[in-house]
Structure formats: structure tokens, C-alpha cells
Structure 1
Amino acid sequence: MRVGRLPDRADLRAAAAPWNCHNQKDPVSVHSYHLSAQAPTLDIPGAALGLAQRESDTPEPGPGQVLVRLRASALNYADLSFLAGHMPHAEGLIPLLDGAGEVAAVGPGVQRWQAGDRVIANPHQNWLAGELRPPNYGAVLGGMIDGTLRDYALVPETGLAATPEHLSDEEAAALSCAGLTAWNSIMGGPPHRRVCAPGESVLVQGTGGVALFLLQFAKLAGCRAIALTSTAEKAEFLRERGADAVINYRENSAWGDSVVELTGGRGVDLAVELGGPGTLPESIKAVRPGGRLALIGIVGGMGSVDYLHMIPIIHKALTLFANSMGSLADLENMLQAVSLHQLRPHIDRVFPFDEAPEAYRYFAGRGHIGKVVIRHD
């Protein structure tokens, strides 16, 4: 990889749009999946899913652009929300936030990359560093612009980070969305949030991609990790991966009180809320006075939040913050840690590209542990 000057904001705005370009002439065809307006039926095998596979011409990179041969992509709960129409998207959008592969070609003026470099796409294509602000918000892969469920894509040179050498393409594709969300929850992210200190306690919910990254990064930071799960088998899995204590929330619906007991009546310093309205009250209960609550997911489903839940937030003076993955700088910092400590994501299952609809169905069934990946070759 060759590292050079980061383009300025004007360069970046000019280069961000090419993710949506399919029409330039090239002898190689691009295979891609696109979201349709059709309502998905995830629970019926073989039924329509709202995904259509297409072919188009491979685009050529222009100034500041990189053509990436995508080798793998990974699913996240946000991808289900886009498919189901819970989050708005343009009809025909190519889905998925996560993707990894290698540089196939570079356009004029590109200094950071050369053909053959292994790379990971940053979901926030315009967010280079610092806090998320309006100028760098509007280019999220698989939501606002075309995503990674395709063979080739044009991307601005600042939309990529180098893949750690010890990771496969499937592992690399599993890192960006879930890994960045977990990294910024534990390690601080933008300047207004502080890093978890050694000896602090962190509450982790479940065994999905974000949860397992949270567990890895919490232990890396020297924190005590308390995990929630639904089965004895998953509890053992979490203990093997470093959880200091595990609570079965199906057997103990008042798990917020149990978390407080496990911390000597104090409560955790940080709870990372993944479940949504169904788990938020217990998460609030589990956090110590003056503690922090990260709001990053609604995997338990949509619903309303009773305003009465705000009372303990106020009384305990909790700090609430949300994460929207992270910037290029955040991604590069996370990947440095992943490389230094030889960390790996846990991959539950890998599907071939032609079975992407089956991958969606499997992921929606919520029986997986860690990440579900789609291999593109």
C-alpha cells in the first residue's frame, strides 16, 4: 500500500458518487444484487425476497477513484431493516455495508493504493475523521449509496483501509460495521466520548457480531465483561471467549438487578444496548450512577419507549450516546489493534454469492453466533 496526502473536502465530494456508477464500458461484467420495492418474505423458504440479481458493465476508475474487486461481504441487522423497508432506500439499491477484496485498478492521481492491495471498505464513505457532521454523513454503503453485494465497485481512495495480513477476505469483510460500532463504544470514538478504563465493567448483550467484538475489545481494554445470552451453550461459548460472568436472560428476566449484584451493588460503568425497547429498561437499571449507556441497536424489534424510563436516566445522571459505525481514522485505528493483537472475528457461516437470499434468511433466523458472510468468488 502507498500512503499519500488525503484529498481535501472538495476532492472527496467529487469522488464519493462513483459507488453508484455501473455504466462505463469494460469487457468484464459486474454481477450484483439489488433491492426491489417488493415486500420480503424471509420466513418462507424459496419465497420472494425482494432481491434481484443483475449484470452490468465494469466501470473504469477516474481521478481519485479505485476499482475494487470485492471478494466477500457480510450481513448486519441494518441490512435487514433496509430490505424490509424499515429504513428508506432507493429502489434498485445494491445492499450491504460490509465488504473486502483487492484493488483491481486505480485512477489518475491515486496515491494511497495500487493494484493488488487488499482492502476493506469503510461503510461511511465520506467520514474521514473526527465527529460525524452533515458534510460527511450522506454516503453510507448499502443504505444511502450502493453497497457491497457485487463483484466490482468504484470507491474514492479515502473510502478504503488496508486489510490486516493475518485475515482472510471473509474475516476482513466481517470487520467494518460491527467491529467499528463495538470499537467506538469501548475505545471512545469521536472526542466527546471517553475510553473505557482498565478495571471498569461493561455489559454486553448476546452473541451477534457486535456483541462478540464488544467482548474482544472490552477484554483488550482491561475491562470486566458481563454478557447476556439465551442458552447454556451460548453461555459456555461466551465464557470461552473471555466473559467474566454470563446471565441467561430467558431464565432471569430481571437481569438488570443481577448485573448490579455481580458488580457488588454498584452497576456497570458501560452498558451497550443492542436489543431496543424490550431490553432498554433493564439496561438502564444495570448502569451505575454516572455511568454510560451506548444505544446502538434494535435487534429485538421495533416499539415505543415509555417516558417513565427517562426518570432513572435523569436521577442517575447517565450519559447516553449512539454509534453510527465510525470514520476512516477509526477504522484504521481498529485495524491496527486487530493486527497487533492478531484478533479475528467469529464467522458462523459463509454462503456463496449465488445463495445471497439464503444468507439473508439464515441471518434473519437469529440462530447464528458472530457473523454471516457471503463469498463472491
Structure 2
Amino acid sequence: MKVTQLTAPSLSAFRQTELPDPKAGRGEVLVHLRAATLNFVDVAIATGSFPGVPFPMIPVADGAGEVAAIGEGVIDLAIGDRVIPHFMSNWQGGAVTAHNVAAMRGITLPGSLAEYVVVPASSLVALPSHLDFIQGAALPIAATTAWNAVRSAQLRPGSVVVLLGTGGVSIFALQFAKASGATVILASSSDEKLERARQIGADHLINYRATPAWDEEVLKITGGRGADLVVETVGAATITRSLNAAAVGGTVFTIGFVGGTSSTIDLLPIILKSLRIVGNSTGSVADLAEAARAISAHHITPIIDRVFDMADTSAAYAELSAGGRHFGKIAIVH
């Protein structure tokens, strides 16, 4: 099979090669991958910012394809089924544990830049019928994370959500929040991106370059109340403002580190407002399945910014690592 390998922690270390086709064992399924999408964790691996990665390796956590062969004991799947392999196959459901997150596709296991991959049948989720393979490949990390963010704050009609930027998680969170009846405030440095966000449902828009104190603008928009949920996708550079923008009893769902990982935080706002700060490492297979069902029920279409061929993997990574240019997800087709 044709694969793209990452031979070293460098954006220039991708190579096209061929490896033997893998075989499905008991309880496993061979998936013919059709597309992949990138996440910042993929860039972190390719730039040496993620520890413990063995090289050479087949990168990219997220992908989608169709069942090509079925191992012994698999009874609920058929050849030709359109499926999405979950990022962490050990994490079937329930609370996160060290065992659950030990096996990660595109990190400790072969990723999605290959024609075929063998995965446990229990890690597969059906691709929503209205999505193509490229759109389906956007779900494992970004949609699961966004779904858990929305659930963490128990959104309902009238809830207020603040989103930072227009990456994959933020855009999925926008779509899920609007499906829940929430009001969405989205901040970006680009007026063009803000307009695109408005077109898919954002209620209030803040250009944080023109308005650096975007947290104060959130309080102004909400009449001083703040947001029930802030999806913190940046990190150290914005966490203090996120805490300020949150309402009493609100949730700050923190997933990002592109703006740094070390920050000095004033604990008083957290205490006085009884805030919940929720860290997240994607979610389980059950969470992905729930997100997929919500996407089907509300006929949500993932937003794909650009599509690259496998031969242009380096360019796809460069586009994501440049930061701030994409809207939604960047995909790679096989």
C-alpha cells in the first residue's frame, strides 16, 4: 500500500513510500482510507513539540474510509460500510484513564496517511449518510471535542457561548451551540472570517485586533453577565480574558496551547464566580458516536477550508502551522 511517512520531527521530513498491506486479526477491521484531516496535534508531532513519538511513523490522527475486510469475530460490520476510526481506540466510553489514552492513531499507532489501516472494530463509528469522506474525516478529534465542550456546559436555548478563532473545534462548537439554541459570540482577527462565521450562525462578532479587550466586549454584549461557556482554544495568551468573560457558574473549556502552556492565573475570579475549568483530551468512541448522531439529526455539514493531495502533505502541514489562515478544517485526500 502507498503511505506517507514522517521520518523525523520536521515539516520537511515527509516521504512517499510503500508498505505491505496490513491484515485484520480477530476483532479487527481493515479500513480503506479515503481522506484525512489535520489537527494542531499533528503539527506538534511534526515539529518535535509532542514527546515520545517513534520515527518513522505514519502520521495524522483523523481519517475516514470504508470497510475493506473483516477479521474473525466481527459481526456488526460489512464490507463497504462507510466508517470513521476513532483517534483513541482503547477509550470506548466513560472517564478518561491512562490506559484509554495510551493508544493514539497517528502518534503511537499508524495514522491516516495510508491507503489501509487495521483498527479494532469497536473503535469504528458509522459515517453520517449526508457526509462525504472528506467531511467525515473532520469528526474524530474536532467534532468530538466540540461536542464535549457543549455538553460540559449543558447548553440550552438562551445560553451564551464564546468561541476563539475559526479552527475546526471552534466551528464545530458554533454549529453544535446553534443547534442547542444558544447565542454565540465569536472572536477572530479577520473581518472576512467573522463574516463567514456570521453566515453559519454566529450572533455577535468581535475582531480582537481592533478590540484587544475582547472579554470586556463580551461582558458589554451580555449586559455584564458573561458567557455560560468559553471554549478556550488558544492557551496562556488568552486564559485570563477567558476567565473574565465567563459568567458566574460558567465553564471554561480549555483545549488549546498554540498561545503557550504557562500562565499566571488570578484565582479570585475562579473562586468568586464558581467557575468550572475543564481540560479536555478529545473524548471516547461513545462521545464520537454521539457527536455523529447529533450531526446527522441536525444535518450539520463540517466546514472544509482546503483539500490537498497526499503528494502535497508538506504544503498541507505548512498551511495549518502558519496559523490564522484557515477556516474550519484542512483535508488531505488519498
Find the counterpart in structure 2 of residue 44 from structure 1: none
Residues 2-50 of structure 1, C-alpha deviations (whole Å, 9 max, x = no match): xxxxxxxxxxxxxxxxxxxxxxxxxxxx21222223543xxxxxxxx12
Find the counterpart in structure 2 of residue 76 from structure 1: 39
Q: Is contact 2:144-2:287 (8 Å) kept?
A: yes
- TM-score between both structures, scaled by the size of structure 2: 0.96
Q: How far did residue 66 of structure 1 move?
A: 0.4
What runs of 5+ residues in structure 2 fail to find an aligned partner? none
Q: How far did residue 113 of structure 1 move?
A: 1.1
Q: Is contact 2:139-2:288 (8 Å) kept?
A: no
**Aligned counterparts of 1:334 and 1:200: Cα–Cα separation in 2:** 19
Secondary structure of 2:16's aligned partner: strand
Residues 301-323 of structure 1, C-alpha deviations (whole Å, 9 max, x = no match): x252014x333223322111112
Find the counterpart in structure 2 of residue 131 from structure 1: 95
Q: Does 1:331 align with 2:331?
A: no
**Aligned counterparts of 2:48 and 2:155: Cα–Cα separation in 1:** 35
Secondary structure of 2:206's aligned partner: strand
**Aligned counterparts of 2:180 and 2:9: Cα–Cα separation in 1:** 45
- TM-score between both structures, scaled by the size of structure 1: 0.85
Secondary structure of 2:64's aligned partner: strand
Comparing 216-225 with 313-322, greater Cα deviation is found at 313-322
Q: Does 1:305 align with 2:269?
A: no
Find the counterpart in structure 2 of residue 4 from structure 1: none
Find the counterpart in structure 2 of residue 59 from structure 1: 22
Q: How far did residue 120 of structure 1 move?
A: 0.5
Secondary structure of 2:155's aligned partner: coil
Residues 46-84 of structure 1, C-alpha deviations (whole Å, 9 max, x = no match): xxx122322111022111110000000000111111111
**Aligned counterparts of 2:262 and 2:100: Cα–Cα separation in 1:** 30
**Aligned counterparts of 2:85 and 2:267: Cα–Cα separation in 1:** 37
Secondary structure of 1:116's aligned partner: coil
**Aligned counterparts of 1:148 and 1:121: Cα–Cα separation in 2:** 9
Secondary structure of 1:337's aligned partner: helix
How many equivalent pairs are there?
A: 332
Secondary structure of 1:258's aligned partner: helix
Q: Is contact 2:28-2:121 (8 Å) kept?
A: yes
- Partner of residue 121 from structure 1, selected from 85, 91, 112: 85
**Aligned counterparts of 1:36 and 1:282: Cα–Cα separation in 2:** 39
Identity of aligned residues (%): 42
Q: Is contact 2:9-2:45 (8 Å) kept?
A: no
Q: Is contact 2:9-2:48 (8 Å) kept?
A: no
Q: Is contact 2:4-2:310 (8 Å) kept?
A: no
- Partner of residue 277 from structure 2, selected from 320, 332, 339: 320
Q: How far did residue 112 of structure 1 move?
A: 2.1
Residues 121-170 of structure 1, C-alpha deviations (whole Å, 9 max, x = no match): 11111111111122322111112222111110110101111111111111
Find the counterpart in structure 1 of residue 332 from structure 2: 374
Q: How far did residue 200 of structure 1 move?
A: 0.9
What runs of 5+ residues in structure 1 fail to find an aligned partner? 1-29, 41-48, 189-193
Find the counterpart in structure 1 of residue 133 from structure 2: 169
Q: How far did residue 325 of structure 1 move?
A: 1.3
Secondary structure of 2:320's aligned partner: helix
**Aligned counterparts of 1:39 and 1:62: Cα–Cα separation in 2:** 33
Q: Does 1:249 align with 2:208?
A: yes
**Aligned counterparts of 1:144 and 1:57: Cα–Cα separation in 2:** 19
- Partner of residue 259 from structure 1, selected from 218, 234, 241: 218
Q: Is contact 2:58-2:111 (8 Å) kept?
A: yes
Secondary structure of 1:177's aligned partner: helix
Q: Which amino acid aligns with 2:264?
A: D
**Aligned counterparts of 1:341 and 1:256: Cα–Cα separation in 2:** 30
CA RMSD in angstroms, aligned pairs only: 1.3
Q: Does 1:140 align with 2:100?
A: no
Q: Does 1:203 align with 2:166?
A: no
Find the counterpart in structure 2 of residue 156 from structure 1: 120
